[in-house]
Structure 1
Amino acid sequence: MLINKAFEIIEDHPDDADFIGEIKEQIIDSAESELNVKFPMSYRLFLKKYGLGDIFGEEIYGLGVEENGVPSMTWITKQFRQEEGLPNHLICFYSTGYDGVYFCLDCSNVQNQYDDNAKVVSFVSGLPIEEQKFEVEAGSFGEFLLNTLQESMED
């Protein structure tokens, strides 16, 4: 699985990684209920093992902090839903750091915690929702994380 390869990179670079740590299953379930989505398996595994944090300067939003701002995935997702009309099946988990571009998981096809069929799509903050292209950036969270870590190691 791609997510396991990404986890190996994280484990192999502890000095470059800063993650909050393990999140209990009931907190993950509660976040799903709050956002009215099911998280894909690879993102659930990430949340369960790392919660949120960064490595090589790449910040991955998740769970495990007070819900008062980034890097809380629930906070930023609810903000974008309320203020910019982000569709309810998307959850925001990453900022590219330029031009208001964020990456979201499209949870519309995720039926249960064993599904990993949520594509990573782009969302541009400030762009009217009818003009959003929601371009596919990766086939899954695991693919996204692995690619991002591999590219960051090369820089």
Structure 2
Amino acid sequence: MKFTDIERVIVNFQGDKTLGSGTSEDVVRLAETQLSSNIAGSYRQFLKRYGWVDIGANEIYGLGDDIPAYLELTSNTFWERNEAFRRLPAHMVPVYNDGFGNLYVLDTDQIIDGENPIYFWDHEGLPDQSAEYVADSFAAWLCNELMANEE
């Protein structure tokens, strides 16, 4: 799936939605520097176009001048890496908290076909846990989440 699929699904989503106004390439680069991470593909495009979204039951972390503080990407990433009970590895960047403390994360050490894959991080997992692979891209994961919300 591609970023255009995200746009199509968001536009056609029939439930409640609040969309951010997006952010600049400079802000994305600053976040990458602060997080020591490479944000690629559809999530990078999402940040630039929307910044963040609150759509259906999904509150997606992001960047931008109009973002609610609790969805701000860099502060959430720092907290998950440094304060959380099961600390997130430094190469992972959270994009969504499922409401139970578990995270869906980008693996920024991997860029496959221009995309960071998405993994599931269990906040109650064992100290030596490995994240569970979920999707090839942010676009594939988000589109599946949003379409499941409408069913």
TM normalised by structure 2 equals 0.87
- Of 59-68 and 14-23, deviating more is 59-68
CA displacement, residues 75-121 of structure 1 (integer Å, 9 cap, x when unaligned): 111011112432111001101122x211110010239xx821x2111
| Partners of 1:67 and 1:152 in 2: CA distance | 22
| Partners of 1:146 and 1:38 in 2: CA distance | 22
Structure 1: which 5+ runs fail to align?
none
Contact residue 22 and residue 63 of structure 2 kept, 8 A: no
TM normalised by structure 1 equals 0.85
2:117 is aligned with 1:115 = no
Give the letter aligned to residue 20 of structure 1.
G
- Superposition misfits of 4+ residues, deviation over 3 angstroms: 65-69, 126-129
How far did residue 69 of structure 1 move?
4.5
Structure 2: which 5+ runs fail to align?
none
Match runs of 1:81-120 below 5 Å: 81-84=81-84, 85-98=87-100, 100-110=101-111, 115-116=114-115, 118-120=116-118
How far did residue 17 of structure 1 move?
1.9
Structure 1 residues 19, 66: CA separation in 2 closer, same or farther (over 3 Å shift)?
Answer: closer
Residue identity (%): 30
Contact residue 121 and residue 137 of structure 1 kept, 8 A: yes
Query: How many residues end up aligned between the 2 structures?
Result: 149
Query: Which protein has the bigger helix share?
Result: 1
Tell me the SS of whatever aligns to 1:122: strand
RMSD after superposition: 2.3
